[in-house]
A and B are shown apart, each in its own frame.
Chain A
């Protein structure tokens, strides 16, 4: 399958995430859009990994080229899980203080 299809799909997913971050005010939905962007990058990394491996397999049938991409995806997932853990607790704390998840309430941080 041409790599361009995967690139296009990943870019579309990423831009949906960007639009969500820019237009919504609910903190949880902004957080979910960040997850969407991370997943778009993961998909692109796996597709490129398979592309590199396919190029290398032509010369060496036992090649492991491109395996780093999939390990990076694994580490990105781990970091995203840790990030979600902390971010959601921050959102819960913010909700407890302001009884709202509207990010505009956060501007009182500056006072």
Chain B
């Protein structure tokens, strides 16, 4: 649905549905922190940003010139072959045979345990991310400003 809808706004709304579904999966395997962050960051912030850009450009019904059918067919076949090959390889791998993901047990997904590890073992990457965010913010302002 993200792919086949002609209108970019519909595409974005379907992508939000996909993100909510993925968050549901996170909750099901008891990774609550990741689920909430996924909802807030992806379904909240990023998708609103996309929606704003699409509406800013006012290309709701701008007809997107389609690629010719050959290219589209080739792309679809390539993606399908990739999917089949990857699934087939992974199904026969020894590591994942009879392995299960815990569904409701385990507490590593809770904010308490994740936060302890994040701010003790991963402090330096965390601070580097803040620098990355700052540079991304400055870069967006510099690129986006009217000259």
Contacts and interface: CB of A to CB of B under 8 A. Distances in A.
Interface string B33-66: 1100110011001100110011011010000111
Contacts of B98: 2
A89 interface: yes
Contact of A1 (B2, B3, B103): B103
Nearest to A38: B42
A20 B114 CA distance: 34
Interface of A: 1-4, 6-9, 11-16, 18-20, 22-26, 28-29, 31-33, 35-36, 39, 42-43, 46-51, 53-55, 57, 64, 66-68, 70-71, 73-75, 77-86, 88-93, 95, 101-102
25 contacts: A1-B29, A6-B25, A11-B90, A18-B79, A18-B82, A22-B71, A23-B67, A32-B2, A32-B11, A35-B15, A39-B19, A39-B42, A49-B31, A50-B106, A51-B102, A67-B117, A70-B109, A77-B42, A78-B129, A84-B46, A85-B140, A86-B136, A89-B141, A90-B143, A93-B143
